[in-house]
A and B are shown apart, each in its own frame.
Chain A
């Protein structure tokens, strides 16, 4: 028999624990609002406590770190700083939410019965995760040559041929990182030009171990038990080919982690939460910050900045209600 718990009520609940969620936690904690952070669950995708930076190595553009900082270390610092001011953490995910009345209702244990957490004000910072290719062979070969985490799995491809799919900063960052291990790294990109920043492009072009296949998409991941290659189609000429490789790393873009909010929060056609007037959503008392509402900038620093905005918006909103 499941026990019946009284739901816990918190003044501020934050969903997500990347730069946005943890900055919101630091600010609301310092405003004595005792934030409760539902930080997510471990996974090998970026939908996990700490967010996308947990799967990166060197972060060189976060201000204040002259020599750079490791992504996971940076997020540990964020979390410790929030905890220092009294933020509490729960290592689970929201499975169901109901924003139709206040306090907002959140289920983290089961979607059945009564919610286990109630929130007077809610800050949504659930971020985004990497998109997979969705081609034959990919799902079957995850962990057998198809990887969602270059920092975890690069080691296994020492002196082997590696393919990275994508043309943005994340793709080139992974490609550069993987040259530490692989004999060669081939970047497969669907266009003729990269989306990545100039500095990342310059670095990649200067690296002897990285080469490029342009205007091409992966149509299948090949291999029996482990990856042996990828099938490619040139989308300009229609030409099909096969490329031998033992590792496939996918970095073709992101989707927001918003499926749990369907029917509750207004989103754009790609599932990003719509915000207006700072970080307000269509539900009064629910705020959104970070990559869950931003598909344009997507940086740790912009995410942290919008987390700070959400904290200030939430605090003022509670003040206006006479509840802060």
Chain B
């Protein structure tokens, strides 16, 4: 896990997204998902370049079924943006960096 990106679990998820002082972008991913691997470096760059405005976190869906089911994630990668603990944006499928930043623009 790279610096600045938090690995969440079923146990830590709620507390983390509620107490964060910036919006949290959660990457629902799994080891066996090719497109998830492709967007990992993109998320690392966004995390580094937009520090203080947005936090990036990852949730391994294989190991954390409760949160995955609660938000009815049925396709990965899914990126969900949480503001004050509430989901405000859902992005399904991998994207290039420019496209992703455009979709997140309102929160950056």
Tell yes or no: A131 within 8 A of B by CB.
no
Q: Which A residues lie at the B interface, using CB under 8 A?
A: 41-45, 48-50, 54-55, 71-72, 91-93, 142-145, 147-149, 151-153, 155-156, 226
Q: List 26 A-B residue pairs with CB atoms under 8 Å apart, sorted by A's residue number.
A: A41-B96, A41-B97, A42-B38, A42-B39, A42-B42, A43-B96, A44-B93, A48-B94, A49-B38, A50-B38, A54-B38, A55-B34, A93-B96, A142-B75, A142-B93, A143-B75, A143-B78, A144-B72, A149-B33, A151-B33, A152-B35, A152-B75, A152-B77, A155-B30, A156-B73, A156-B75
B35 touches A226 (CB 8 A): no
**Residues in A whose Cβ lies below 8 Å from that of B99:** 41
Q: Which residue of B lies closest to A147 (CB)?
A: B75
B35: which of A48, A144, A145, A155 is its contact (CB, 8 Å)?
A: A48
Q: Which residue of A lies closest to B62 (CB)?
A: A155
Cα-based distance from A189 to B74 in the complex (angstroms): 25
Cα-based distance from A44 to B35 in the complex (angstroms): 6
List the 8 shortest-distance A-B pairs measured between CB atoms, nearest first.
Answer: A41-B96, A143-B92, A44-B93, A42-B38, A42-B94, A143-B75, A54-B34, A156-B74
Cα-based distance from A55 to B94 in the complex (angstroms): 12
B35 touches A54 (CB 8 A): yes
Residues of B in contact with A, size category: 20 to 34
Q: Which residue of A lies closest to B100 (CB)?
A: A42
> What is the minimal beta-carbon distance from B93 to any residue of chain A, in angstroms?
4
Cα-based distance from A72 to B32 in the complex (angstroms): 10
13 further interface pairs, Cβ-Cβ under 8 Å (given A41-B97, A42-B38, A152-B35)? A43-B93, A48-B35, A48-B38, A50-B38, A54-B34, A54-B35, A91-B97, A142-B93, A143-B93, A149-B35, A151-B32, A152-B30, A155-B61
B39 touches A152 (CB 8 A): no
Q: Which residue of A lies closest to B35 (CB)?
A: A44
Tell yes or no: B7 within 8 A of A by CB.
no
**Residues in B whose Cβ lies below 8 Å from that of A72:** 34, 37
Cα-based distance from A149 to B32 in the complex (angstroms): 12
